[in-house]
Amino acid sequence: MCLTEWIRLRDYVGGRSRKVLGWEIPAWVWETYQVVGVFLFGCACQQLTTDVAKYTIGRLRPHFFDVCRPDIDCSLPSNKWRYIETFTCLGENEKLKKEMRLSFPSGHSSFAAYTMLYFCMYLQKRFTWRGSKLVRHGIQFILIMIAWYTFMTRVSDYKHHWSDVLAGCSIGLLYAIVIFSFVSNLRKTPRSRQLSHEAELRATNGNTRVQV
């Protein structure tokens, strides 16, 4: 985002710059502050929502028995078809023993879904290079594949059930769409208007340099 904003506004001279304590903040720095600030706000919201669900609902992870190694014999007839609430874990890794009850929803899936989808939508609005559309869409495809790979590895590593990954993904996607649509200013500026506005600014800046 910082690189995109710098490329987009590095030659901009105008009203978007701000003064803070007597120092003039360049336009690209101010825009980066706004864009990244909204992005981090949404990131904090989705993470808080995920953590509240984790510590409220929990759910045992698929690798629960391997991590816990409970001191019970599940093969005994008396232990079949009933819930066993009193047991002692023989596993020695205390960190894993604490996390083995926090499967729902998947925090990695939620974070990956939010960050990658939001960045894809951000590039769709702000990546204005006309050299090739495939560059922008290629980057977006890579971002989606990163999120998809994260989803798959949470299941293949036996860290989450598939429903935990689906729930985490849904939380991330929901926050990405809501933050992009209602909190950020990215959706409010049509792409065609933005391109024409930037072209006008560059032409104005060029004329100013010639006159000076």
Taking CA atoms, 26 is separated from 79, 82, 121, 156, in Å, by: 69, 66, 24, 47
Which tokens hold the place of 136? 């922008």
Catalytic site residue from 137, 160, 161, 197? 160
Q: State pLDDT tens for residues 109-163.
A: 999 999 999 999 999 888 877 777 788 899 999 999 999 999 999 999 999 999 9
The string of pLDDT tens digits covering residues 27-76 is 777 788 889 999 999 999 999 999 999 999 889 999 888 888 888 887 88
Say which residues have a Cβ less than 8 Å from residue 153's Cβ, sequence separation at least 6. none
Question: Per the residue annotation, which of 108, 137, 161, 197 is the catalytic one?
Answer: 108
Separation between Cα atoms, residue 80 and residue 67, nearest integer Å: 21
Res 183 pLDDT > 70:
yes
Domain parsing of the chain, residue ranges:
26-59+102-204, 64-99
pLDDT at 16 over 70: no
* Average pLDDT value for residue range 2-11: 76
Say if CB 128 and CB 8 are below 8 A apart: yes
Report the alpha-carbon distance of residue 92 to residue 172 in Å, rounded: 33
Does the annotation count 63 as an active-site position? no
CA 122 – CA 211 distance, rounded (Å): 36
Model pLDDT, residue 185 = 86
Q: What is the pTM of this model?
A: 0.78
Query: For the chain, how big is the Rg over CA atoms in Å?
Result: 24
| Mean pLDDT for the stretch of residues 17-30 | 68
**What does the pLDDT read at residue 121?**
93
Q: 5: which 2 tokens?
A: 């904003």
pLDDT at 98: 84
